[in-house]
Amino acid sequence: MDLAVELDTGRINLWLGRGGFDYAFQMDYDLAWGRLVDALREIAAYRPEVRIGIEYKPKEPRRHILVAMAAKTFLHWCW
């Protein structure tokens, strides 16, 4: 975000990598969403003037992806 400000771009893109799971009960889903939302809030608060794009992934090697759809991402972010 500091580099975005320095380069006067005003925006960044977050790619969440391998954010998801393959099997039922492989992860604590509520805990993972809570951590993701907390992290995104912290990122947004660090440099409020920088716009953040969250790259959702409708198709990945993982079976279940935390950020798989724009609508799901938005609803969890606002919750």
Report pLDDT digits (tens) over 3-45: 999 999 999 998 877 777 777 788 888 888 888 889 889 999 9
pTM of the model: 0.74
What is the domain partition of the chain in residue ranges? Answer: 2-78
- Predicted confidence (pLDDT) per residue in 60-71, tens digit: 677 777 777 777
CB count in 10 Å sphere of residue 53: 10
Where on the phi/psi map is residue 10: left (φ > 0), alpha (ψ -120 to 50), or beta?
left
